[in-house]
Structures are given as structure tokens and as C-alpha cells.
Amino acid sequence: MSTNGTVNPDDMRIYAGSSNPAFADAIASYLGVPRSPARAGHYSNDSLYVQLGATVRSRVVIIVQSFCPPVNEHLVELLMMLDAARTAGAKEVHAVIPYYAYARSDKKDAPRISIAGRLMARLIQEAGATHVMTTSLHSAQVHGFFDVPTDPLTARPVFEAHFKHLHLADTIVVSPDAGRVHSAGRFAQRLNLPLAVGNKTRISDTKVMVSGLIGDVSGKTRAIVYDDEIASGTSVMEVIKVLAGHGIEQVWVVCTHGVFAGEALARLSALPAVQEVIATDTVPIAEAKRTAKLKILSVAPLFGEAIRRNHLRQSIGDLFTFWDEYRSED
């Protein structure tokens, strides 16, 4: 461990899973630690194999893997990389999961279903993770699914910096539903903007109904729709329709995890009111799917800084999702 604020490259190994190697490269660049090679593939019977390409004995191992499609393939690959590091004598094994897709399965809201977010947390721990780092979990209780130290970071400062240069008069922040109201409220407070919430009913995974808004949008002409994740995009599009009925003429769509399944990004970008679709790089977006309205902001430096502080035994509290509430109670 270094004592001068930097990481000794020989003390740490950074590996990337197959899901988002560019994100791992950005973390490695921030830390000044080269990414170590790893091999992954399939045997003839389609089962996975992985191999870490540099010694990890008595080192701190960072394994970066997002749960983007194909989610289950990337999950199993992460489990095998964690197991490989643990059984090869790593001192610490850190699972860095920029996008934890199973966070949406956080409660038993139908008969005979699995709370998959909790199950996957147990598997990650059993595989060998001694620490987990992620960002923008779907709900606060997912943090409690892990029995190892877990750092839920927030991308909010990155979004705040993006909007600081814009003229925000007549603007309101809108949460698509009550489940994200606290996160959207923190974002609105930091920008000194009012908040409204969509009155949403989910009918299926790809169909929702937004019957109205909770909050006063009178006199507003612009809105920032703020969410943790956009997959099919139906919730956001329904909210934008309701906003149009209230006189909102311009909309900025903001999400941490831009999954954008199918044609979701193209459909959002085609809406005349949408000025920008802003996402982070926790989920890689293929060049072929990108549109002129898409803006990608990197949170890799946020993860790099959290890893650096953690390695040097420094506080990372101000990078946490709920830091604003903690600080207000000081």
C-alpha cells in the first residue's frame, strides 16, 4: 500500500470481464495500474472457462463486470473470476459491478417468485468477493442483500456538473415514479429546482400507465426526467406525454444505466421535445444504436477514486448514494 496518495501497481491487479472492458481500462488509467490480462471462452459443451493471466497471490484484486446483456453469461463469468482469484491466494477480492441488473428484483411482489437480487448477492459472496462496489441501485434495500462491505456509489455529481452550464429557468425535475423520488429529489435540491413525480402503474415489464403528476408544474416549460435505469423506455415516454399536456416543451432524459433495449433509444430520440438523452458508461452502448441526441458521461473516474481511497484506507462517504442525508444530520 502506498502512503503518498497513489496506488503501488505491484500491490493491485485489475481484471475486466467481457461485459465492459473499456470501463475497466478507464479505471486502470485513473489509478495508474495496468489492466492485467484474462482469458474467457467456452468449452465444446458450451460451459464457460476463465483464467486470470497474472499472479494474484497476496495482491488486491479488482474485477470489473457489468450485468448488461447477456446478463446471465456475464454473471457466471464474474463468479468464476472471483473464484479464480480467491483460490489463487488473493489478499482481497473486489467485485466492481457498475450495473447490477438484478437490483430490480428486490422484493416478492408476486406469488412464488425469487428475490433474485438477494440470491445473486449471496452467490457473489460465496464465489469469493470480499467487497462489492456498484452504483445507482434500484432501491435502497438491495444494499442490505450483501453481507460483505458494499459501496453503493452515486452518479449524481456527474449529472449535476453537466447541467450546471445550462440555463435552468422554468425547469422542473421529474421522477417517473415514486420508487425513484428520493434520488430525483436529491438531484433537484442540488440544482435548486422543484420536483414532480409521475403517478405510474406498471402493467407488465414493457407496459406502464402514467395517469398524472404529483407536484406543481404550472409555469414550467422544460423538464429533466431523472431515472436510475432505462430499458424499454416506456415509463419515460409515458411521462413525456403527460408533461406535454402540462405545457412542457423541452425535455432532458437522464439515467445512470442506459440499457436501451431494442429500439428504445431511437424512439426516445425521435420525440421532438427530447433535447438530450444522457446516460453514463456503466452499460456499453453500441455505436450502431447511438443517436445524435445521446450524451454519455463517464463515471469510471468516480469508481477509480473510490477504489483508490478504499485501498489507502480513506473515507469514501461523500461518494455514497445517501451522503446528502448523512451530511444534513451532522
Give the pLDDT of residue 200: 62
Give the pLDDT of residue 207: 67
Q: State whether the Cα torsion 5-322-226-209 is positive or negative.
A: positive
Give yes or no: 164 in active site: no
Choose the catalytic residue: 91, 107, 164, 200.
200
Give the pLDDT of residue 148: 94
Q: Is the pTM of this model over 0.85?
A: yes
Q: Are the CB atoms for 243 and 270 separated by under 8 Å? A: no
Residue 180 DSSP label? G
Give the pLDDT of residue 327: 41
Domain boundaries, the chain: 9-155+300-328, 156-297
Give the pLDDT of residue 270: 97
**Cell 449524481 identifies what position?**
156
For the chain, give the number of residues: 330
Give the pLDDT of residue 164: 87
**Cβ contacts of 101 within 8 Å, gap of 6 or more:** 67, 68, 71, 259
Q: For 229, list phi and psi in degrees, rounded to 5.
A: -150, 140
Determine the CATH number of domain 156-297: 3.40.50.2020
For residue 194 the three cell numbers come to: 422543484
- Identical fold for domains 9-155+300-328 and 156-297, yes or no, is yes
Q: Give pLDDT tens digits for 208-231.
A: 666 678 889 888 999 999 999 999
**Calpha distance 266→297 (Å, rounded):** 19
Give the pLDDT of residue 141: 77
Pairing outcome for strands 48-52 and 38-42: antiparallel
Burial class (CB in 10 A: 0-12, 13-18, 19+), 78: buried
Per residue of the chain (330 residues), give pLDDT as tens: 454 688 999 999 999 999 999 999 999 999 999 999 999 999 999 999 999 999 999 999 999 999 999 999 999 999 999 999 999 999 999 999 999 999 887 888 788 999 998 999 999 999 999 999 999 887 777 888 899 999 999 999 999 999 988 889 899 999 988 777 888 999 999 999 999 988 766 656 666 666 678 889 888 999 999 999 999 998 899 899 989 999 999 999 999 999 999 999 999 999 999 999 999 999 999 999 999 999 999 999 999 999 999 999 998 888 875 545 434 333
Smallest CA-to-CA distance from 214 within 231, 239, 190, 193 is with 239
**Calpha distance 317→313 (Å, rounded):** 12
**Calpha distance 245→229 (Å, rounded):** 24
Burial class (CB in 10 A: 0-12, 13-18, 19+), 325: exposed
**Calpha distance 316→140 (Å, rounded):** 18
Q: Please, what CATH class does the domain formed by 9-155+300-328 belong to?
A: alpha beta
**Cβ contacts of 114 within 8 Å, gap of 6 or more:** 105
**Calpha distance 130→120 (Å, rounded):** 15
